[in-house]
Structure 1
Amino acid sequence: MITGLVLAAVSGALLSVQNVFNSKVSLRAGTKATTALVLFLGFLASFLIGLGVEGKSMFALQNMQTWYWFSGMLGVGVVVSVVQAVMRLGPTYGISIVMVSQLVYALIMDSLGLMGLEKMAISGKHLVGVLVIVAGILVFKFGGVRKADKA
């Protein structure tokens, strides 16, 4: 469990840094070029690491659902949406909304047992947890000192 927690924390940090980088690249290159660059470099890195670590067994993909093959295409929507959100809302607010959206959809997929997941009952504490996070985002966005108030 500790390893999972550490990996999740590292993932969050890497995603935040990547999204800021992506928004800066997008200012110069545009969203389409940024998306192509990010996904191509991600493919290249994954491919080379996979070959180095797993070798030919990386290509053993029997018994996989056909529609799983298209999951990488979702990355286009992810990169475009997050880059635009960060550019329009700022990193903290944009990523916070992305995080809540991920959490809500993960809860929905878990509770309905979608995509082969084991069905999980949603409890009141799950809903309260999401609402607390949403409340925190609202406090962050609207509860701070405005620039005009500082003057």
Structure 2
Amino acid sequence: MVLGIILAVIAGALVSLQTIFNNKVNERTGSWATTTLVLGTGFLASLLGSLIFEGKNTFTLQHMQLWYWFSGMIGVGVVFCLVQGMKRLAPTYAISVVLIAQLGTALLWDSLGWLGLEKIPFTFNKLIGVLVIIGGILVFKLGQGHTKEQQENIASAPDSLEG
């Protein structure tokens, strides 16, 4: 269990780091070029890793459901949407929204047992957990106060009490 938690923490950190990198690439190219670069280099890295660690078993694909093959297309949607989200939101806010959506979707799929997942009963405690996370993100986003630009505008505005 500890190893699972460590790996999940590393994955979360890597997703956040990748999102920032993707945003920087997107500033110099377009969203589709960024998606192509990210998934293309990811393909090369995973192919190399697979050949090193699994050898000829890399190409042994048995008992695959047809819909498993769409995973890469889902990855295109993930990268494209993250890049677009980063353009419109700050990195922390974008990742927070992604995490809420990811947690909510995982909770739904687990609770319904879809796609061959073991059905895990939905409980009130799980709902409270998700709502607490959403509340925390709302406090984070709405409790930021004024941005530097807003503070400068307030400071440079004439005092309305002077006549």
- Does the alignment reach a TM-score above 0.5? yes
Shift of 1:44: 0.4
Shift of 1:58: 1.6
Aligned to 1:25: 25
Give distance in 2, aligned partners of 1:37 and 1:81: 15
Question: 3-state DSSP class of the match of 2:133?
Answer: helix
1:1-151 maps to which residues of 2 (within 5 A)? 1-147=1-147, 148=150, 151=155
Note the aligned Cα RMSD (angstroms): 1.1
Q: Which runs of 4+ in 1 moved over 4 A?
A: none
Structure 1 residue identity aligned to 2:23: S
Output the TM-score relative to the length of structure 2: 0.89
Give distance in 2, aligned partners of 1:54 and 1:28: 36
Identity of aligned residues (%): 56
Output the TM-score relative to the length of structure 1: 0.96
Give distance in 2, aligned partners of 1:149 and 1:25: 31
Structure 1 residue identity aligned to 2:40: F
Question: 3-state DSSP class of the match of 1:14?
Answer: helix
User: Unaligned regions of 5+ residues in structure 2, if any?
Assistant: 156-163
**What are the superposed Cα offsets for residues 6-52 of structure 1, whole Å, 9 maximum, x if unpaired?**
00000111111110110111011110100000000000000000000
Question: 3-state DSSP class of the match of 1:121?
Answer: coil
Give distance in 2, aligned partners of 1:18 and 1:71: 18
Question: 3-state DSSP class of the match of 1:18?
Answer: helix
More helix as a share of residues = 1
Give distance in 2, aligned partners of 1:114 and 1:50: 28
Shift of 1:149: 5.1
User: Unaligned regions of 5+ residues in structure 1, if any?
Assistant: none
Give distance in 2, aligned partners of 1:29 and 1:73: 21
